[in-house]
Chain A
Amino acid sequence: MPDRQFVETQFFTFAQAPHELVLKSGVKLGPVTLAYETYGTLNADKSNAILIFHALTGDAHAAFWHKDAKTPGWWDPMIGPGKAFDTDKYFIICANVIGGCKGSTGPSSINPATGKPYGLSFPVITIEDMVVSQKCLIDHLGIKKLLAAAGGSMGGLMALEWSVRYPGTLQSAILIATNYKHTAQQIALHEVARQAIMSDPHWNKGDYYGKELPAQGMSVSRMIGHITYMSERSMEEKFGRKLQDKEKVGYDFSQDFEVESYLRYRGASFVQRFDANTYLYLSKALDYFDLSEDTDLVAAFKGMKTKFLIVTFTSDWLYPSYQSKDIVKAMKANDVDVSFIEIATKYGHDSFLVEIDGQSKLVTHFLTNVAKDVSHAS
């Protein structure tokens, strides 16, 4: 393909002793490396930068292609020349979160003090820590104000946290299929996924690097995850009761249904591409996050000047719309400039990755208007 655009992951290391990053828990961590990618060109006055935050199992590779890869970045339909996040106009940045396993410092990284992987000695990190560390990256790039921050699911939490933590640094934010705190059901689903990993004997209290991986536990946790990302309808339409490679059920516990085969395949491939400990750390970070922890939600948005676009999906039962509506309501109580839309889709939580038409239209126009406001103001 002649028009395929390539990108290479870059690395930024900071928080060297004695200037370690102080985490929300009070623990110090350093040095910290963030893996990040950029698409498009930063303009002269550095006013066209957009920071994209990835979801739980995402990474810095949001768009374009890596050499010899079979697929492009995870949000490639949304990011590129002429696309919603138009790389002809904007400078797009996406970094792997701290605690991640795709190049940023996380439990699978080597602890410089011991020369061994951190494992469970890696400090517990929070959404706030992820945001603080990415602010260091944005400062390093010399960007004072982002045109926008955007993310779905966990990425949405980060965009929300950024808007509250660094209010003067964000012109606009796009929150997709997200919330401001996790409910008991959401925490419970994460806990089942964590227990699946931790009950695998190969997990070995997080010390499995260079040994056999907790593949079975990882695989089961991913199966659970996949079920929660889909809707009943999308599963029914995709699989129904179709059998996999057989005419009749086997009356045994081998694989009968296509949906079983799909989940097993997804589970097994996850083991190859993700770190079990990172899954534990990041899901815990999601559970801990609560924007209304120290204050009520309305007070959290007092004086907020950032302009918001908040998107949910009708079939997303994992991050149901009412959670975003609570955010909208609290913003409206503060006269925050916010637009909210609930897109009718059948794809469940995964919609933010697969429902491209509606999101493209919204993001394209929203960003165009935000950019217009900026150029009028200057």
Chain B
Amino acid sequence: MRLDHKYILEMIEPNSHVLDLGCGDGELLSLLMKQKCCRAAGIEIDEKEIYKCVEKGVSVSHGDIDSGLTDYSDKRFDYVILNESLQEVLNPEKVIAEALRVGKKAIVGIPNFCNLSARLQIFFFGKVPVTEGLPYKWYNTPNLRFLSIKDFRDFCAERSITIERECAFAVKGKVAFAHNLLSDTSIFLISKPAVK
């Protein structure tokens, strides 16, 4: 099992209702259905991935995340997942707000663009970093947004979004300290208290 999937599975209560934004081939949702008895739905923009979702028995809608959430009413889902997809959306601020509107909680997995390897490459070579977790060149990356773990924490703090759990990891597993320096990826469990 992919590490990110393993850690996301740990964050989700059994029998939950889950929406995965940018669900890819539906692997994560399929795991959630089998191992956590979740009710699951996905949104995915790539036609090829839709076939794989349907093959796995995952209900999926073909569309883009930026406009895909208007179909749902408030707090419809227990969890809305944005795993490795936030950095590819046009309007992340709106997508996070929408995810927290339709979901009681959101799970956001982001690649850390400021880990040690990336920093060293910028410092010593003066070039945009290419790492194992970020294998793209500037001209072919699907990523539109480049952020670090600290950036995301700041983003949440500025918007009164609560970070309930944070799981930072690298290829070998969880990173215990200095997340922003040592981890490739971090998964956040976030929520926003209802405005009175």
Q: A337-B59, A339-B61, A340-B62 are in contact. Are A361 and B71 (CB under 8 A)?
A: no
Is the CB of B151 closer than 8 A to any CB of chain A? no
Residue B54 CB within 8 A of the other chain: yes
A372 on the interface (CB 8 Å rule)?
yes
Mask, B57-88, CB within 8 Å of A = 1, is: 10111110000001111001000000000000
| A361 in contact with B61 (CB, 8 Å) | no
Closest to B51 in A: A361
Q: Pick out which of these stretches binds chain B: A149-157, A210-218, A362-370.
A: A362-370
The 16 listed contacts between A and B (C-beta, < 8 Å) are A328-B71, A333-B71, A333-B72, A335-B76, A337-B59, A339-B53, A339-B54, A341-B47, A341-B50, A341-B62, A342-B62, A343-B47, A344-B47, A365-B51, A365-B55, A372-B57
Contacts of A329 in B (CB 8 A): 70-71
Q: Please, which residue of chain B has its CB at the minimum distance from the CB of A343?
A: B47
Partner of B54, one of A309, A335, A337: A309
Contact B71 A339 (CB under 8 A): no
Distance A339 CA – B23 CA, assembled complex (angstroms): 13
A254 to B24, CA, bound (A): 55
Q: For A189, list chain B residues within 8 Å (CB).
A: none
How many B residues face the partner with a CB closer than 8 A? 17
B71–A332 contact, CB under 8 A? yes
Closest A residue by C-beta to B19 = A332
In the assembled complex, the CB of A20 is this many whole angstroms from the nearest CB of chain B, namely 42
Closest to A311 in B: B62
Q: Tell which of B57, B60, B71, B73 touches A369, judged by Cβ atoms closer than 8 Å.
A: B57
Across the interface, name the chain B residue whose C-beta is closest to A330: B71
CA distance A365 to B76 in the complex (A): 27
A338 at the binding interface (Cβ < 8 Å):
yes
B58 (CB) vs chain A CBs: closest residue: A339
Q: Would B61 and A328 count as touching, CB distance under 8 A?
A: yes
Alpha-carbon distance between A341 and B63 when the two chains are bound, in angstroms: 8
Taking Cβ atoms with an 8 Å cutoff, the residues of A that contact B are 307, 309, 325, 328-329, 332-333, 335, 337-344, 358, 361-362, 365-366, 369, 372
14 further contact pairs, Cβ within 8 A, besides A358-B51, A365-B57, A369-B54:
A329-B71, A332-B61, A332-B72, A333-B72, A337-B59, A339-B50, A339-B54, A340-B60, A340-B61, A340-B62, A361-B54, A362-B54, A366-B54, A372-B57
A364 nearest CB neighbor, chain B only: B55
**Known: A328-B71, A332-B72, A343-B47. Contact between A361 and B53, CB under 8 A?**
no
Chain B minimum-CB-distance residue to A369: B57
Residues of B within 8 A of A358 (CB): 51
Chain A residues with CB under 8 Å of B76's CB are: 335
Closest A residue, CB atoms, query B61: A340
Q: How far is the CA of A242 from the CA of B131 in the complex (A)?
A: 54
Q: Is the CB of B47 within 8 A of A361?
A: no
Contacts of A338 in B (CB 8 A): 59, 61
User: Separation in Å of the B89 CB from the closest CB of chain A?
Assistant: 19
Quick one: CB contact mask for B102-113 with A, threshold 8 Å, 1 for yes?
Answer: 000000000000
- Closest Cβ of chain B to A113, distance in Å, is 50
**Interchain CB contact (< 8 A) of A342 among B47, B51, B53, B59:** B47
Residues of A close to B55: CB separation below 8 A? 361, 365
B69: min CB distance to chain A, Å: 10
**A342, B70: Cα distance in complex, Å:** 19
Of all chain A residues, the one with the shortest Cβ separation from B50 is A341
Q: Which residues of B contact A325 (CB under 8 A)?
A: 63
How far is B54's CA from A332's CA once the two chains are assembled, in angstroms?
A: 17
Task: Give, as a whole number of angstroms, the nearest-CB distance from A174 to chain B.
Answer: 11
Query: Roughly how many angstroms separate A318 CA and B143 CA in the complex, as a whole number?
Result: 36
Chain B residues within 8 Å of A342, by CB: 47, 62
Q: Which of B51, B53, B70, B72 has the most CB of A within 10 A?
A: B51
Q: Is the CB of B57 within 8 A of A362?
A: no
Q: How far is the CA of A340 from the CA of B71 in the complex (A)?
A: 13
Name the B residues within 8 Å of A337 (CB-CB). 59
Chain A residues lying within 8 Å of B47, measured Cβ to Cβ, are 341-344
Q: Which residue of B lies closest to A338 (CB)?
A: B59
Contact A365 B54 (CB under 8 A): yes
Q: Closest approach, in angstroms, between the C-beta of B154 and any C-beta of chain A?
A: 33
Q: How far is the CA of A332 from the CA of B47 in the complex (A)?
A: 20
Nearest A residue to B57, CB-CB: A369
Q: Closest CB of chain B to A323's CB: distance in Å?
A: 15
